[in-house]
């Protein structure tokens, strides 16, 4: 697709991708293909929020404009988008999360903890002995300590910068 843009020399080209070919974390051959640094392959970084969009325009790491048009598909970290011979690897950007070590909580306390986090409409990621959820500001750590009340003494809360991927069964909106 060629279109004029006064900020770039003519012709201005946007590469368009329309399908998800696979994921480098699920397909070893696809991962090897991107490890070989093929010049025709591109990489884009997307936030978790951008990964939910089906149509958008982003810049690849080499400056190439990429138009993403996926209809109803949701993008995941490591997905490879394609159109013809063009392949684009999607990398998710990191974000701040609170990770709560919850190994010392009993059943009722775990239910209450889930209710508190859910009441603020935060998606969660559950790992062995911990639960993580995204935050917008570091000051939210004090907010959650306050909301957790007496449970705060039984759990360890820490802010981390990482790629947050909600639990597969999560389909919530955030406020």
pLDDT tens readout for residues 80-120 = 999 888 899 999 999 999 999 998 889 999 999 999 998 99
pLDDT per position as a tens digit, 1-30: 445 454 555 455 688 898 999 999 999 999
Domain residue ranges in the chain: 2-92, 95-162
pLDDT in tens, 123-137: 999 998 899 999 999
CB atoms within 10 A of CB 121: 10
State the pLDDT at residue 12: 58
Nearest in space to 51 (alpha carbons), one of 28, 77, 32: 77
Name which of 92, 72, 69 is nearest 81 in CA terms.
Answer: 69
Q: Summarize pLDDT for 41-84 with one digit per residue, the tens.
A: 899 999 999 998 999 999 999 999 999 999 878 899 999 999 88
**Domain 2-92 CATH (choose: 2.40.160.10, 3.30.460.80, 2.60.260.20, 3.40.50.620):** 2.60.260.20
For 135-173, the pLDDT digits (tens) are: 999 999 999 999 998 888 889 999 999 999 988 776 655
Mention every residue, 6+ apart, whose C-beta is less than 8 A from residue 102. 110, 113, 129, 130, 131, 155
79 CB-contact burial (10 Å; exposed 0-12 / middle 13-18 / buried 19+): buried
- Ordered alpha helix ranges (H), 75-130: 107-119
Q: For residues 174 and 167, which has the higher predicted lDDT (pLDDT)?
A: 167
For the domain made up of 95-162, the CATH class stated in words is: alpha beta
Tell whether the model's pLDDT for residue 122 goes beyond 60: yes
């Amino acid at each position: 697709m060629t279109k004029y843009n006064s900020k770039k020399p003519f012709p201005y080209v946007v590469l368009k991708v329309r399908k998800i070919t696979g994921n480098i974390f699920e397909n070893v051959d696809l991962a090897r293909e991107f490890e070989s640094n093929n010049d025709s392959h591109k990489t884009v970084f997307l936030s978790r929020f951008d990964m939910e969009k089906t149509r958008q325009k982003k810049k690849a790491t080499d400056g190439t404009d990429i138009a993403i048009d996926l209809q109803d598909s949701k993008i995941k970290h490591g997905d490879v988008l394609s159109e013809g011979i063009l392949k684009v690897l999607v990398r998710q950007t990191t974000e701040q999360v609170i990770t709560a070590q919850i190994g010392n909580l009993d059943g009722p306390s775990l239910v209450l903890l889930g209710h508190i986090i859910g009441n603020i409409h935060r998606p969660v990621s559950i790992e062995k002995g911990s639960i993580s959820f995204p935050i917008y500001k570091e000051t939210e750590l004090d907010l959650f300590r306050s909301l957790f009340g007496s449970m705060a003494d039984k759990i360890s809360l820490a802010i981390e910068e990482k790629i947050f991927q909600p639990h597969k069964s999560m389909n919530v909106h955030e406020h």
